[in-house]
Structure 1
Amino acid sequence: MPANTSPADLYHHSLQLLLDKDIPAWVGLWAEDGILEFPFAPQGWPERLEGKEAIAAYMRHYPDHIDLYDFPDVRIHRTTEPETIVVEMRGVGRMVETDGPFDMSYIAVVAVQDGRFTSYRDYWNPLAVQEPGADFTGSTR
C-alpha cells in the first residue's frame, strides 16, 4: 500500500486480506517494529507481540483455526490524531476444528505511519475462548 494510504483504507484492505486468507500479505501491512496488543488476553495467551516477525508467527496458522466469512458492521472512527483510528466490528465464520460458528465482536485502536500498522490494540472478548475447544490461532496458547 502506498505510504499515503489512509488508516481507514489500510484497515479495510487488511480485512479483505484476512477474508482471502492471505496472511503473508496481511503481515506485510505491518511496520518492522509494529506492536500488536491484546489487553484482555486470558492467562496463558500473549498480551503483547513486538515486531513483524512475532506478529507473523502468531498469525501464521490463523486460517487453519478460523475460517472467516465476513466482517459485518465495520465502523471506523477517526480521532484527533490523523494516524489513529478506533474500529468497531464483528468477525463471523466457523471454527475449523469443530465446524462450530465463530462470531466475535472487536474494538481496536489502530495507529498507522507511512502506510503500515505501527500499533494495534485488539480489545476482543476473552470469555469466548473459555468455551470447550476454542482456540483462535493455535500458535500461542
Structure 2
Amino acid sequence: MVDYEWRGRFANAEVTALHAEGFGHRLLADDRWGRVTGHSPGWVCARSGPELVGFVNVAWDGGAHAFVLDTLVTAAHRRTGVGRGLVARAADGAREARCEWLHVDSDDHLAPFCVDSCGFRPTPAGLIPL
C-alpha cells in the first residue's frame, strides 16, 4: 500500500537518491527541503511504509498557474499507479492553493503517462536551453 501526503516531510537524502535514480545521475548535495519549502506551494511524497517511493514538486507563479516538476518513482514501484497518484494529489493540492491551471512539460516518450494516464491536455510549448 502506498500513502500520499501533500507537503509531507522528507529528508534531503531521500529525494536526492530518488532524483539520481530517476534521472540517472550521481548523488548531489542539494538542499531539496529548502528549495521546495522556499519556492513551492506544495509537493507530494508517496511512501510505502517508511520508504519514500515517489515524489513530485509543484512550483507556481504565485497565482493561477502551477507546474509539476520532477515526478519521480522508484524503479521497483514504476508502472503500479504511483506516478498517477502523485499527479492526482498534486492537482488536488494546487486546486486547494487556488491555482487554476496545472502545467506539465515532459519529453515525448512521457506523453502517454502525462496525457493518457494523468489527464493533461497536450499543448504546444517552447523551450530555450540556457
Structure having the higher strand fraction is 1
Give the TM-score, by structure 1 length. 0.31
Structure having the higher helix fraction is 2
